[in-house]
Chain A
Amino acid sequence: MIYIIIAIVLGIVMIVMSIIAIHHKNITLAILSAGGVSLVASILYLLLAAPDVALTEASIGSGLTTIIFFYVLNKIKKHKHVEE
């Protein structure tokens, strides 16, 4: 029973975070919340008895994807700065 409540809370957090990721104007916040969706999803995988998938999602989906997004965003911002 407690697991069901935890899963519902995690799911609501994920939905709120993905709405922020899609609709927020500030793109840094959007990227961070998309990383947060992956991180919360990895806890959900743990509840679904899949520790392997949880480890992969936490290290790859949440960590490296966010870092690559930030590198590309930083590069685009720097480009814009040089233009102006």
Chain B
Amino acid sequence: MEKIGIEQISLAFGFIILMLGLWGILSRKNIIKIVLSFTLFDTGLNIIIVAIGYLKNKTAPILDSAELQTDTASKIVDPLPQALVLTSIVIGLGVTSLLLVYALKLYKEKKSLFINDYKDLKW
């Protein structure tokens, strides 16, 4: 029991949400639902990356007190995955809005949001 920490739990939930997002992307028929599943996939992946950077019994990488400023490397969690996830969230917003605008454009062309109605590349 003492082996299980908050990072393993977050890692497990991140994997589950990622799988749920993948299931949604592959099985849903409504385009809006597919875009929603993409955002879930994003969230799960971000939780996994942050959980990997977590170290037990250490604090956030913000050096606001004097005791944190000496011998910093043994007192803080890993700042690098957090910086990468910061980038990933902002790009996720860009990708989501672009997908939604494509969906809007598709709807204007064919008057349908269902992916089975788009057969232009099927033979």
A and B touch in their complex, CB below 8 angstroms:
yes
Contact of A45 among B20, B50, B92 (CB under 8 A): B50
Is the beta-carbon distance between B6 and A4 smaller than 8 angstroms? Answer: yes
A49 and B36 contacting across the interface, CB-CB below 8 Å = no
Residue of A with least CB distance to B96: A65
How distant is the Cα of A56 from the Cα of B3 in the complex, in angstroms? Answer: 31
Task: Check if B9 sits within 8 Å of A11, measured CB to CB.
Answer: yes
Interface pair B6/A7, CB less than 8 Å apart: yes
Q: What are the 7 closest A-B residue pairs judged by CB atoms, nearest first?
A: A11-B13, A22-B24, A49-B60, A72-B100, A49-B77, A48-B54, A50-B82
Residues of A with Cβ closer than 8 Å to B?
3-4, 7-8, 10-11, 14-15, 18-19, 21-22, 27, 30-31, 34, 37-38, 41, 44-45, 47-53, 56-57, 60-61, 64-65, 68-69, 72-73, 75-76, 79, 83
With A7-B10, A68-B93, A76-B104 given, can you name 13 additional A-B contacts, CB distance below 8 Å? Answer: A21-B37, A22-B23, A44-B10, A49-B60, A53-B50, A56-B89, A56-B90, A61-B39, A61-B42, A61-B89, A65-B39, A68-B97, A73-B32
